[in-house]
Structure 1
């Protein structure tokens, strides 16, 4: 879904005070939606919890006990749409409006808004009876509007309003709530020596996602805890002041079965990854490891996976095979049954002068032959026609992936990193990240990431670890109970 303006060919006209007759009437129909409640809260500043939809992923105790009620003034504001657009139409100005609210309106209710001219006063003033009724014709709002009707005839195109992008669904909240149903993942936190990295680890522990083991300089960890006002009693702390040695210690704990995941704290990624990929005592598996950004983009209806943007700088074809497979595996672990993978390049046709288009075409064919499993892979695709159906249609691309990609494979680290960070800092996407393809999940976040990013990344680690051990995605407590039986 791209943030473009909708062009309207509809024209609207008015009825002047001279043309207006007592008894003239007009109506518009409207269905109350979640979006209406959120938009009204933004515009009015009224965030009364009784008037907002339930927050996905929040504890039941924090949710409203009843179905949210549409603000009465939102209901009343619908009257202005009829007066301003239909009767009398463009040029109408309010003098006053009264309201009597007889019943409450809820999300999904169908409303009919009707205005009727009851009196013409001295030009240009007129009095209108206003009423909003539900699907059964029962009034939910009645009142009287006194307006100044237009004096000049107007016929104009209906205004095309800018598209509003709202983050209406919190995809990370669902993953976090799902992961919290699993046993805590014992995680070695490497150098949690600042408030960001320690705060994210402690929040993840508080939410039931991980059991943290803190490895680093005890004095710096204690200072970070003091800055947060956090109590570290009951949490295991392993003293290791050297960053590289701390990373080696965390990896050794995973190898020994003392931990099940590694989480980056306040150290450089190179120090952590060097310990992860070392030949002797590291966490290498059969293929190359890669990093996957998982983004909750406000304009999209599902999570977006981008790889590789943090580890493999200029991957060759063999490395890209592992990058694609790793991304598919993580997407499946997060609940996508058949991920749709768009292999990106600058263009959507094979061009021998652009090597990434050749790799993309080969990867697509390898997936068709079963050399890449679990997803539908297509490429080369440009960014626009990978995620936007209209762009794909315009360019005549027929594909199960084009316009629907939920996994994007970048040609190299630079382009992938820029893409993920542009979406984060310009499109206001929330980002989480995980290193996949190793013998254990590696939670690799930026030192600048906030607690929310670290919490979501821990949820990814939980779900990916479950998928690795069981060969399927975790779908909820009911499945867990069934497996126990």
Structure 2
């Protein structure tokens, strides 16, 4: 059997006269989310069975299936680069797909010479198998073998970035279908804060109740060039009073969510968690960034990057459960939670690894419900199957994380902002764990991100009872 060229700097072919019956070659590749997206973009095959996990869950196999022709393309790669190699002309291929390929599968494509025909034609058996040794594709290829021996530099493939910002679309569509949610906009006395509320109203997501000093609200509307006709204003003197009034409206069921205006986050949340506020639950509130990173195949949550500065183990348990419940609302039936640390092994000198190990055990004991939790995991292993395999890391979460539970606010905030500014990520923000969702937007947010935050708040408000847990 020919050894796969792999990272060899030079490709060498086999001419017709040198080929022998039984000669064989293979290559192996991981079926990654990125590969699926790239194949869909190049081929135009956007069948939701390949791209939409919620749709795929309702179909025959219950999960996303890799394009069959992606698997078949591996056969072409072996023929063109290994056996017979450069100069080969593909004449025909018979294919039979025997099992589905899932994202994350390790697929090995093998070709074997079975017959030498006339005029330089060669017939080869073609087969692809997964990491469990199961055959996923069988077939027969007919090629024209090269006429002359060739040694040619192996040119590395180009780096291609999949740029997709559509991770919020399903949430947006679903939220619009629920109707506008009465929402307290707390102290919307700046142009940005007021525009965010009006945008959400115009999209049918929120029915805003503006709470704050009325003259300042109207001045902000004038500066923003927006009309307040038909918009309710609940006048109070200052930002602290606005926060308290918003909590009061939520407690009495007059609004179903709060949205931060131009006051500081701490001032708003202080009113929410104040003794006797009525918005308390049995769980600590926490912040969740729902991330849309173009190079990652699905939305995921970073928590907590804005509220809990140095959470204890018990508080991390609450933070984790809040994030899991949010993903349930977003349609993820069993989120995979990666508890982050700097390393993948427990180290008594690194408290984050101890907490991660404890949370993993707590999950298996039912203290965290509705999720698969694993840690400690370093960031690379949490989001990259290749990184996890390189380190021979066996984990049900590695490379597939839906939640990145960070050790503390500083690390979470830095991680989220690095992704935003270096990886072109979007981050929709929500505070969860209270009796109503609290929508947090930033002046730096795009319109799309502000609307996504509002849509998530709308979904949480509509479904918090259906998941039997608070917002």
Give TM-score scaled by structure 1 length: 0.66
Distance 1:241 1:452 in 2: 32
Structure-1 residue corresponding to 2:229: 233
State the structure with more CA Rg.
1
Offset, 1:157: 2.1
**Aligned pairs (5 A) from 1:1-16:** 11=11
1:451 matches 2:447: yes
Q: Deviations over 1:339-382 (max 9, x none)?
A: 00000011110000001111110100010011110000000101
Q: Determine the structure 2 residue equivalent to 1:118.
A: none
Q: Could you tell me whether the CA contact under 8 Å between 1:275 and 1:282 is conserved in 2?
A: no
| Match in the other structure for 1:41 | none
Alpha-carbon deviation of 1:12? 9.1
Q: How does 1:434-449 map to 2 (within 5 A)?
A: 434-449=430-445
1:24-423 equivalences under 5 Å are 35-36=41-42, 156-168=152-164, 170-423=166-419
Checking the alignment, whether the CA contact within 8 Å between 1:12 and 1:157 is kept in structure 2 is no
Q: CA deviation at 1:10?
A: 6.7
Contact 1:8–1:159 under 8 Å retained in 2: no
- The alpha-carbon distance between structure 1 residues 157 and 184, as it changes in their structure 2 partners (threshold 3 A), is same
Q: Secondary structure at the match of 2:396?
A: coil
**Partner of 1:480 in structure 2?**
none
Matching of residue 428 in structure 1 with residue 424 in structure 2: yes
More deviation, 387-396/168-177: 168-177
Q: Distance in 2 between the 1:290 and 1:426 partners?
A: 25
Kindly indicate whether the alpha-carbon contact (under 8 Å) linking 2:10 and 2:151 is maintained by their aligned counterparts in 1: no
**Normalising by structure 2, what TM-score?**
0.68
Structure 1 residue 178: Cα displacement: 1.1
Cα distance in 2 for partners of 1:250, 1:7 equals 62
Shift, 1:37, TM fit? 9.2
Whether the 8 Å CA contact 1:341–1:405 is kept in 2: the answer is: yes
- The separation in 2 between residues aligned to 1:304 and 1:212, in whole angstroms, is 28
Three-state SS of the structure 1 residue aligned to 2:404 is: strand
Deviation at 1:300?
A: 1.1
1:400 Cα deviation after fit = 0.7
The CA deviation at 1:392 is: 0.9
1:268 CA drift (Å): 0.7
The answer to whether the 8 A contact 2:292-2:298 is kept is: yes
Which whole-Å CA distance do the structure 2 matches of 1:459 and 1:472 have between them? 20
How far did residue 161 of structure 1 move? Answer: 4.0
Residues 1:169 and 1:421: Cα distance change in structure 2 (over 3 Å): closer
Shift of 1:156: 3.7
Could you tell me whether the CA contact under 8 Å between 1:434 and 1:443 is conserved in 2?
A: yes
Instruction: Please say if residues 210 and 458 of structure 1, whose CA atoms lie closer than 8 Å, have aligned partners that are also in contact.
Output: yes
Determine the C-alpha separation between the residues in 1 that align with 2:443 and 2:43: 36
Question: After the TM superposition, which of the residue ranges 217-226 and 270-279 deviates more from structure 2?
Answer: 217-226
1:458 Cα deviation after fit: 0.9
Residues 183 and 208 of structure 2 are in contact (CA less than 8 Å); yes or no, is this contact kept in structure 1? yes
Structure 2: how far apart are the matches of 1:8 and 1:277?
61
SS of residue paired to 1:469? coil
Deviation at 1:324, TM superposition (A): 0.5
CA distance in 2, matches of 1:450, 1:225: 19
Shift of 1:466: 2.2
Residues 1:399 and 1:34: Cα distance change in structure 2 (over 3 Å): closer
Counterpart Cα distance in 2 of 1:447 and 1:275 = 22
Shift of 1:278: 0.4
Name stretches of at least 5 consecutive residues in structure 1 with no aligned partner. Answer: 1-5, 14-31, 39-55, 57-85, 88-152, 474-485
Change over 3 Å in CA distance of 1:461–1:158 after alignment to 2: same
- C-alpha contact 1:309 1:417 (8 A) present in aligned 2: yes
SS of residue in 2 equivalent to 1:470:
coil
Report the Cα offset of residue 472 of structure 1: 8.0
Change over 3 Å in CA distance of 1:250–1:155 after alignment to 2: same
Distance in 2 of aligned mates of 1:410 and 1:371: 19
Q: Is the 8 A contact 1:169 1:301 kept in 2?
A: no
Distance in 1, matches of 2:403 and 2:455, equals 18
- What SS class does the counterpart of residue 238 from structure 1 fall into? strand
Aligned match of 2:75? none
CA distance in 2, matches of 1:199, 1:7: 54
Deviations 1:78-128 (A, max 9, x none): xxxxxxxx99xxxxxxxxxxxxxxxxxxxxxxxxxxxxxxxxxxxxxxxxx
Instruction: After TM superposition, give the deviation of residue 333 of structure 1 in Å.
Output: 0.6
SS in 1 for 2:431: strand
Aligned residues: 343
Alignment RMSD (CA, Å):
2.7
